[in-house]
Amino acid sequence: MPQFSWIPVPETAIDLSFVEANGQIFEVAQAGEGKKLALCLHGFPELHYSWRHQIPVLVEMGYKVWAPNLRGYGGSSKPDGVDSYRLNTLVQDVAALIDASGAEEVTLIAHDWGAIIAWHFAILKVRPLTRLVIMNVPHPRCARRELKHWYQLKKSWYIFFFQLPRIPEWLFGLNGAERIKRAISRMAVDKSRFPEEDLQVYADAASRPGALRSMINYYRALLRTPDARDIGDAMVHIPTLMIWGEEDAAIDIRCTDGTEEWVPDLELHRLPGVSHWVQQEAPEKVNAILREWLPS
């Protein structure tokens, strides 16, 4: 298996594997061993590459780490149709990956779209989880509440733009997916954390045939299917850590208010001066929080 040349800790052996799960093929960054799994779920427009700073730390703490490229991303399968990206289907991908891992104990660590999936997974209790780590995405009940306010609705403009047919894919695909790089860099506070070579990784992945269509279909399915709304009492009863970059240009910090109503065992860490891309922009702070909160 090829080694990850971009992982900054050479003593951590990280392999790329292709895992069949839920009828799809997933490109998975794997490191560590044992029955205690940390499953890291990335967001839009990212990859498993977004966890490059956390994987070595989690391995050091005794976890087997899997960081898949979600369906539609990187070398993973890119099925056709909006319905292939509905939330309940994405949740089943996670369940199938857990089953394939052979893990006896699972911690979900998730950011952005990965966190939307992780919240849904934990609420529906699809598989037993030991702990849940969420980065810069609100609990779905908090998100629904805040979308009633103009300050959050205007920040969520892109979700509605992505409902248009073909135009978003065309626009984001221009000039080698240059807008993917700009979307990340412009939102970042500390832009030095996102050098050109890192941004190019995301642009190259988005330029693969069918990738942008798949990536944007997540947003189309979110609004066109009832999955995100059909979550019963919405309670999460496992220990949950939220890490939140306060300078998030897409999601207002007020989205964290009241989370404990649905997540009684909650610990929230707000990081001032950090953007939406929290685990990449402030890896030292995020890793320190993970070290303190996660059992090793």
Q: Where are the alpha helices (DSSP H) in 40-149?
A: 55-60, 87-101, 113-124, 140-146
The H or E element spanning position 276 is none
A 10 A CB-CB count for 139 gives 28
Residue for token digits 């999460």?
236
Phi, psi of 182 (to 5 degrees): -65, -35
Tell me if residue 158 is catalytic: no
Tell me if residue 112 is catalytic: yes
Q: Which has the closest alpha carbon to 218: 14, 10, 79, 67? A: 79
**Among 112, 139, 202, 218, the one annotated catalytic:** 112
CB 203 within 8 A of CB 176: yes
**Among 111, 120, 219, 248, the one annotated catalytic:** 219
Q: Angle formed by the axes of helices 211-224 and 87-101, to 10°?
A: 120
Residues facing 271 on adjacent strands: 245
d(CA 31, CA 12): 7
In the Cβ-directed half-sphere of 29, how many Cα atoms lie within 13 Å? 29
A 10 A CB-CB count for 171 gives 12
In the numeric block, which tokens belong to residue 59?
Answer: 């391995």
Tell me if residue 276 is catalytic: yes
Residue for token digits 């045939």?
209
What 8-state DSSP symbol labels residue 54?
Answer: T
CB 136 within 8 A of CB 248: yes
* Residues catalogued as catalytic: 112, 219, 276
